[in-house]
Amino acid sequence: MPNAKVLSEKQAVVAALTEQLKGAASGVLVDYKGITVAEDTALRVELRQNEVQYGVVKNTLARFALNNVGLESLDEVLNGTTSLATSAGDPIAPMRVVNKYAKQLGDRFNIKGGFMDGKVLSLEEILALAELPAKDVLQAQALGMMLAPITSLAIVLKAIAEKGGEAAPAAEEAAAPAEEAPAAE
């Protein structure tokens, strides 16, 4: 039986992991077997830039923490080397960055499983979400779509103002009465 000090340290790690998981909008479990220090450093830098917490976790301690937050179905992927990437802000960020490195590093870096908003995701769902653009990009696209009609109106009004308020040639043709066509005999 482990001594009291070791047991209390492990309980503290489980408690910290549980809090991290409770505060996370999403997370991804990864098998990182065989990556180099340089590759791991680059991964950690990119994850940090995207405000993603990342760290290697012991499977047993991760299992206790996942069970504490109701993600028991992830127990089956907790074998071998395991690291955990979570994000409290952008829920797509951990999936996007981890998927990018999984593509680059091949069999040495694999996604084991993940979750979002307390729901376990399949590998297909994780990969589909990973292909979405970043939150900032999505917000910019939505804003651009909302501004498009206003921008078009401004361009038309500017064109009319530059002509001194004259009607455009197409509008003049539409306003002039059409000549009657000769009757077919």
CATH number at residue 126: 3.30.70.1730
Same domain, 33 and 95: yes
- pLDDT for residue 183 is more than 60: no
Place of tokens 């077919």: 184
Its domain, for residue 150, covers 137-171
What's the mean pLDDT in 134-145?
A: 79
Q: Would residue 20 count as lying in a domain?
A: yes
Q: Would residue 25 count as lying in a domain?
A: yes
What single letter denotes the amino acid at residue 144? G
Same domain, 97 and 141: no
- In tens, the pLDDT along 55-102 reads 898 988 888 988 888 888 888 888 888 899 998 888 888 999 999 988
CA distance 19 to 24: 9
What's the predicted TM-score (pTM) here? 0.68
- pLDDT for residue 1 is more than 80: no
What single letter denotes the amino acid at residue 174? A
What is the end-to-end Cα distance of the chain in Å, rounded?
110
Same domain, 67 and 147: no
Report the pLDDT value the prediction gives residue 45, as an integer from 0 to 100: 93
In the numeric block, which tokens belong to residue 29? 């479990």
Same domain, 79 and 152: no
Q: Would residue 178 count as lying in a domain?
A: no
In the numeric block, which tokens belong to residue 7? 């047991």
CA distance 150 to 175: 26
- pLDDT for residue 180 is more than 80: no
Q: Would residue 123 count as lying in a domain?
A: yes
CA distance 145 to 19: 38
The Cα-based distances of 84 to 44, 106, 115, 124 in angstroms read 12, 18, 11, 18
Same domain, 15 and 98: yes
